[in-house]
Each structure stands twice: as structure tokens, then as C-alpha cells.
Amino acid sequence: MFKKVLIANRGEIAVRIIRACKEWGIETVAVHSDVDSDAMHVRLADESVCIGSHQPQNSYLNVSSIMSAVDLTGAEAIHPGYGFLSENAKFADVVGKHGIKFIGPSSDLISKMGDKIQAKKIAKKYGLPIIEGSEGGVKSFNEAKSICKEIGYPVLIKAAGGGGGKGMKIVEKENELEKLFLLAKTEAKKYFGNDELYIEKYFKNPRHIEVQIMSGKNKTVHLGERDCSVQRRHQKLIEETPSPVLTDQQRKDLLEKTVKMVEQIGYEGAGTVEFIYESGKFYFLEMNTRVQVEHPVTEVQTGIDIVKEQLWIAFTGDTALKQSDIDPRGHSIECRINAEDPSLDFQPSPGTISVCHQPSGFRTRVDGSIFQGCKITPYYDSLIAKVICKGRNRTEAIQRTLRSLDEFVLEGITTTIDLHKKILNHKKFVNSDFDTNWLGKEKFY
């Protein structure tokens, strides 16, 4: 196994990776910005290197500083986590050319699957159903107008080179198209350095369902699906597995087709294939070539350590898993706890945590990087912790999650804990009668 791994990330995912490395007996190197010098991931790592100021482009997105930290510490591999440089093909290429192992797929596959237009073509080639829309990038307004007329309104304009809701616009009518097309183009250029757009049919009441895969040179296995339909502005808030809306036959069909595609493209590592689901049909959405924020809900459900398996695949090239090893039971739910004020339109809530009591108990897990006295800065993503609970069934999982959220005490900042309790108690959630647009319509405050 690797002797030393550098984690090119921060926060809860850096802590998660450090824990997996320690269980393999691997020494860890944390990188950090100037404001993160006292962060949990820095405290837990064997070594740490300051790589720049608090602006991400000067630190966590600074490739030359990260590679200098590799040279300084003698790390053999880099784990990128999620976000930042995790799906940056150029970074993966630079890492490989320096003789360092990038813990993830090849730069070529990151590039292909990270480009939503390319990914859509690949999915179609290998038999996954795709959403009706543009075959390639849409360069002009006139071209956009023609495509929209052909597929019919409403449509969704998306940035080819990114995600997270940036550069994404819903167009209900033709007279809205020009303004929103130009706005999406501007946002795509600003956030991703690439103003290429594509257009697809917009679904009004979809579920968002994704399949977790682990793949080596020897084989590909799935770890079941997650339902990530509780979202706000395309950002996931609650994930659960299994999806409460799928039949056994739908699940079997989805999982088999996903594994087949991933095998055929020669993928290595952990990955997630995402789908839109509406009226009993699936449509390929995108593939994330990294570990997901919501991976712990699958770990709790299956008993498989996804990050440790990532490290094994990176070191050996093969997965040690067999499909027969995967035996999910019961139901699991994950809540993302953010330092935000839902009553003020989710305004960020930086500050110092004065009291921190995290829940525990039977089948309750908390992934985070917080502690009493730690500072939540305004410079990075507002995610501070994840609460994951498992039950014998969905009802018990909901009750256990509510019990755990009641135990979670954080003072000094405002969080989304109260919002999660309101969602979990809501009749529509209890009955699984919701879609990705539900939270935008419901008044919780």
C-alpha cells in the first residue's frame, strides 16, 4: 500500500480521507490555506503544509503549490476528495506526469465524462437512455431557438463544463429564451472558463436518482442507488437509500445498465452515474468521476468503506469487491448540515462554534470537521457536517434521524438542523410524495 498520501482538500472530506488512510497504515499530508491552519484536518494529519491565502485560487485550486507540497513531503499519491480539483483533468494529468498517483480515474476519462455533451454521447453509445436535446454544444441564439422549437418547452439550458446549478436556466416560453441563453453563457464563462452550453428537455416533476459504482481493471460492481431528490436550487440537502419509489425490476434494470456502461468505458475508482426519473422512466444526467458528498449513506447501507476501496484500486488497479459482497439491508438517510440561515434565504452564517455536541447512538454516524472553538469562515462551502442514520425500514430511519438531529447542539452559528427536522416531519417526505422542485414550492419559514 502507499506509504504517504497527500489530501488536496479541506473540511469534512479531508478528515474522512485521513481516517481511511490511517486504517490502511498510510501517513497523511494535509494542505491548508492561511485561515485553515487550526482546522480539524490539519490537526489529524501526520504532516501539514500551508499552500496559500484563503482565496481558493491561491490555495486549494493552486496546482503549483499543491505539487510543491508533494515534493516537500515525499507523498506518493494525491486524493482530491470532491469539489476543488477533484474533476480537473489537467490537474490529474500534471499529477501523473510527476510520477505521483492520482486517486481517481485517468485524466482522459475525467475529461470525457466531465464534459456533459461528451458524457451524453458515451451514455447513449453504451445503451443508457438520454434526455432529448442538443447533440452538441449550442453556439448561437438562433441554433438554440431551433432546438427548443423541435423538443418543445419547457427546456433546460446547462453549462457543458460544470454543475452545481451554475449556468443553469429553466426556460418556460420562447420569449424568455434570448435573455436566459445569454445569462447562462455569461455564468458558464465566469464559473468554468467555458461558455459552451447545451439544451435539453426540462422535467417538471422529476426524482434525482444516482448509482454508486466501484470499478477496477478486473471488474465493476455497484453499491446500489441513492435518491437525492430533496434539493434546493439544484443542491442536495437529504439523500436516502434505497429509493422509495423504485420497483425491484426498475432497480435491477437501472443497476445492470449502469454497470455495463462503466465497465465498457474502462473506468477505475469510485464514481457515480446520475439519472432523472419521471413517470417510471430513467434518463442519463451525468457522471461524477470522484467520491460524492453523500457517499456515507451508501457506506452505512452496504457496510463497504468506499474511500478505503478507492485507495486499494489506486494502488493495485483492481477492486477487491465482488457483487455478491454487496448486501444492502434496511434504509439509510443522510442530512447535510450547513452553516446557513434558512429563515434568511439561506444566508451563510460564519462564526466561532461556542458549543458543539454531536449525536451518537445505535446506527448513527456523523461525518464532519467541527469542534468547540473552531471557526467557520465565509470563504468556502457552508457544509460543516453530515448526519447519517440507518433503520430496519424507512420509518425507523426517519425516526432515528430526527432523534439524532434533536441531540445535535451547535451554538455560535446558525445551521440547517431545524430545517431538516421540519422536512423529515413533513407529510410529503414521510409519504415520499415529492420531487426535486418540492422545496422551492414549500414554505418552511
Q: What is the pLDDT of residue 137?
A: 85
Q: What is the pLDDT of residue 135?
A: 81
* Interior/surface letters 306-327, b for 16+ CB within 10 angstroms, e for the rest: bbbbbbbbbbeeebebeeeebe
Q: What is the mean pLDDT of residues 410-431?
A: 98
CATH second-level architecture of 4-103?
A: 3-Layer(aba) Sandwich (3.40)
Query: Is CATH 3.30.470.20 correct for 207-441?
Result: yes
* pLDDT band for position 422 (cuts 50, 70, 90): very high
**What residues contact 30, with CB distance under 8 A and at least 6 apart?**
7, 14, 18, 41, 42, 44, 45, 47, 48, 49
Q: What is the pLDDT of residue 383?
A: 97
For the annotated catalytic residues, the residue numbers are 290
Strands (E), 289-425: 331-338, 340-341, 347-348, 351-352, 355-357, 364-368, 375-376, 383-391, 409-411
207-441 has the same fold as 4-103:
no
- Domain spans of the chain, in order of start: 4-103, 132-201, 207-441
* CATH homologous superfamily of 132-201: ATP-grasp fold, A domain (3.30.1490.20)
Q: What is the pLDDT of residue 363?
A: 98
Q: What is the pLDDT of residue 445?
A: 84
State pLDDT tens for residues 141-190: 999 999 999 999 999 999 987 766 778 999 999 999 999 999 999 998 88
Q: What is the pLDDT of residue 164?
A: 66
Q: Are 289 and 114 in contact (CB under 8 A)?
A: yes
Q: Are 53 and 59 in contact (CB under 8 A)?
A: yes
Q: What is the mean pLDDT of residues 276-289?
A: 95
Q: Which region among 93-97, 183-187, 304-308, 314-318 has the lowest average model confidence (pLDDT)?
A: 183-187
Bridge partners for 210 per DSSP: 226, 274
State pLDDT tens for residues 2-36: 999 999 999 999 999 999 999 999 999 999 999 99
Q: What is the pLDDT of residue 192?
A: 83
